[in-house]
Amino acid sequence: MICTKCGHDVPDEKLFCPHCGTPVIREVETYQTVKDLEAQQKEKKDRKQKESEERERRARERAERRRAEEEAAEAAAAEEKRRAGERRRCVVSILVIAVTVVLAFLLIYLMFRVIPNRMKKLEADTESRLEAAAEAYAEAARASPVPVQNIDKLDVDESETASEAGGEESTAVEESAAESVPQAVVITPPALKPPYATDTAPADLTAGGVIPVTSALATTYLVQDNPFYNNEAHMAADGSETTSWQEGDAGDGTGQQLQLRFGNYYYVKYIELKLGNWRNSDSYRENNRPSSLTLSFGGESYTFSFSDQMTAHYICFEDYVNASALTLTINSVYAGTSSDCCISEVTLYAGL
């Protein structure tokens, strides 16, 4: 083997050059060293790859764990929301049941306490009026014991008895005495005070509550091309002023009738009328409006005239009217550009 530094021959068993002392690198050792380096590099590369794979695996596990936690949190939130909805529905149901029970008790109270008391009060008022009228008639009868309509007849009888024979005188006297007895007094109940119309809402308008309308009829009603517009009779008592009954007669609406039925007898105190088409101001001016109406109910009929204003009109009764239906007859109208006459809303209120 030759020394790589000084070029002298070096024995095979020597590890250093005998001339310059340079370490001898043998080929076997060099080859072995290169293999070790390659193995180390490969091992290092494998270790790095394994570490990278391990990091990726741990990152995937963390991501999966985080995703699972998020899904669990979402599921828990959804479950909590569902339970809150169930609790809310339960509370609402309990409130509805409680309100229903309270309303039922109020209805029972009204049926068995308030309404009978009001009926008794009305009966007592009527009886007191009848008693006052009876006393007045009785006083009048005591002041004039012989009815006025029989005076002429009695005078004639007395003149005839004066000219008759003595045998018939006693009979004429008896007849005259019989006729002089006061006749029975027929007691007529006092007439109800007439109602009046006003544009000012009464202070106790809603005190007795609204009378429900169970059905409605009309002589005619307008069928429009637009299916969304309904102008039948019940639209005048549906609680909405933007809908209305529109008569469908060829004329201006004069003579047409609208009838509202209550399904039972009620003591009517006030009637609120919204005449014309109240959908908007243009519709009000476009359609005809009643200027005079006749209201028939409770065996009575009343005629009223109204101003041409888009305002509510109120019919007020000094004495309650007991009725189960109301009929409105159009007597005259305020003309619009269209010949159809409208009534937007009729609301009846009971008295206390």
DSSP 98-125: HHHHHHHHHHHHIIIIIHHHHHHHHHHH
In order of 75, 94, 117, the CA distances from 131 in angstroms are: 81, 53, 21
Terminal-to-terminal C-alpha distance of the chain: 138
CA-CA distance, 156 to 79, in Å (whole number)? 108
Q: What's the rounded Cα separation, in Å, for the pair 230 and 263?
A: 23
Torsion 166-170-175-176 (CA) sign = positive
Q: For residue 261, count other CB atoms closer than 10 A to its CB.
A: 16
The DSSP bridge partners found for residue 257 are 329
* Among the listed residues 132, 107, 121, the one whose alpha carbon sits nearest the alpha carbon of residue 351: 121
Which residues are registered as beta bridge partners of 300? 297
How high is the pLDDT of residue 284? 95
pLDDT at 137: 62
Q: What are phi and psi of 197, to 5 degrees?
A: -105, 145
DSSP 78: H
**Helix 151-163 vs helix 169-179: crossing angle, to nearest 10:** 170
- pLDDT reported for residue 44: 87
Is residue 273 exposed (0-12), middle (13-18) or buried (19+ Cβ within 10 Å)? buried
Q: Tens-digit pLDDT profile for the chain (352 aa)?
A: 677 778 777 787 777 788 787 877 665 555 556 777 888 888 888 888 999 999 999 999 999 999 999 999 999 999 999 999 999 999 999 999 999 999 998 888 878 877 777 777 787 877 777 777 777 766 665 554 434 333 333 343 444 434 444 454 445 444 544 444 445 444 454 556 789 999 999 999 999 999 999 999 999 999 988 888 899 999 999 999 999 999 999 899 999 999 999 999 999 999 999 999 999 999 999 999 999 999 999 889 999 999 999 999 999 998 888 999 999 999 999 999 988 999 999 999 998 7
* pLDDT of 165: 45
The residue ranges of DSSP E strands in the chain, in sequence order, are: 196-198, 215-218, 245-246, 257-275, 289-297, 300-305, 313-334, 342-350
Task: Give residue 17's pLDDT.
Answer: 81
What 8-state DSSP symbol labels residue 212? P
Integer-rounded Cα Rg, in Å, for the chain is 55
| Residue 168 backbone dihedrals phi, psi, to 5 degrees | -100, 0
Cα separations in angstroms, 214 against 238, 258, 282, 327: 10, 14, 31, 14
**Can you tell me the distance from the alpha carbon of 273 to that of 346, in angstroms, rounded to the nearest whole number?**
5
